Amino acid sequence: MITLSLIIVLLASLCTYIGVKLIIPVAIKINFVDNPNNRKVHKKPLPMLAGVVFTGITLTGIFCFYRLDFLTLNETLTLAAAIILLSTIGFIDDYYKTKSKDFSPFPRLLVQTIAAFLVVQFGDYVSQIDIPILGYMELSPVIGKLFTMVWIIFIINIINFMDGLDGLAGGMAGIFSFTFLITSLLMNQPVSAFLSALMLGVAIGYLPHNFFPAKIIMGDTGSTLFGFMIGAISVIGAMKTITLITINIPLLILAIPIFDTIFVFLKRLRQGRSIFQADKLHLHHRLLDYGLSQVQVVMLIYLLCITTSASAIFILLSL
């Protein structure tokens, strides 16, 4: 399982690196670029078709896993349908950005809900949780499916919200994918391990083009895909295990973006604004305001994510 995971990482990273490199001039030629504004950090238009490459490689990987008998036909079609739906709505959002227009969050939420529903309909949902203090709780199928859907939708959006600096969301997605790969290997869960390896490879192949100063960004297409896959992997893997790790491990791995998003949501609500109204309240914006450079902010958040991820692995090893 380890050898195959490494092969998947290498192939996915190579294909992503080449694919993103090739699509940069295409995006520039057709003017599919993200234009700067007073909320964004970049000062010049940036190509944003990297997410299209991610989608193609992820779908290819999933169908390869099916051919290798690691995924059932239902699982394959479910993941593929969800990815296509999310990538389509993400692409539409990105298209609006090329016109310097805002796309309503409600169509995105609707599609995210459908994608999450597809996942739980084929049996991938949390049936029990172990919450500190409250203890172990069995969930009915209805509650379990609702909990899982909310979790996946939430993870999709927290990854999207962190896509504000060069290399930030891609690097965080890589750290999370690597951590879920390790936890999946430790728990002997091949499906979540191979999906984690696939997304780790995509992140590795993308970062050389996206780290400061970025040549391209992933756009909503890419951040939505990363968020969905990380959310789905956590459900397929750690959350479905009947032990202390049921919810604690994914929560710890994703602690930084989770608590950042909760803080921002509460702040917006206190100010009487929509939780989806864009602003500069996120952690990376506030660190920039303290005088840190883009690279320093990204490295600091990487370190925080590595710390929480390492803690999760340590807890798993100690069980």
Model confidence over 4-38: pLDDT tens digits?
Answer: 999 999 999 999 999 999 999 999 999 999 988 76
Between 24-33, 44-53, 194-203, 279-288, the lowest mean confidence (pLDDT) is in 279-288
Average pLDDT, the chain: 91
pLDDT tens digits, 231-256: 999 888 655 554 445 577 899 999 99
Work out the average pLDDT over 136-156. Answer: 88
What 3-state DSSP class applies to 73?
A: helix
Maximum alpha-carbon separation in the chain:
56
Work out the average pLDDT over 279-288. Answer: 91
Angle of helix 219-236 relative to helix 168-186, nearest 10 degrees? 20
pLDDT tens digits, 168-206: 999 999 999 999 999 999 989 999 999 999 999 999 999
Q: How confident is the model at residue 134 (pLDDT cuts 50, 70, 90)?
A: low
Range(s) of the domain holding residue 250: 2-318
pLDDT for residue 239: 57
| Structure tokens, 119 | 């996942």
Which residues are documented as binding site?
A: 160, 220
Torsion sign over Cα 207, 79, 234, 7: negative
pLDDT for residue 242: 44
pLDDT for residue 139: 77
What is the spatial distance between Cα 275 and Cα 105, in angstroms, rounded to a whole number? 10
Residue 135 has pLDDT above 80, yes or no: no
Q: How far is CA 44 from CA 35, 47, 214, 295, in A?
A: 7, 10, 10, 18
Q: Judge contact between 87 and 221, C-beta under 8 A.
A: yes
Work out the average pLDDT over 223-227. Answer: 98
In single-letter form, the type of residue at position 36 comes to: P
- As for how many domains the chain has, the answer is 1
Q: What is the pTM of this model?
A: 0.94
Between 220-234, 240-254, 274-288, the lowest mean confidence (pLDDT) is in 240-254
Between 115-129, 144-158, 292-306, the lowest mean confidence (pLDDT) is in 115-129
Residue 133 has pLDDT above 70, yes or no: no
Which residues are documented as binding site for Mg(2+)?
A: 160, 220
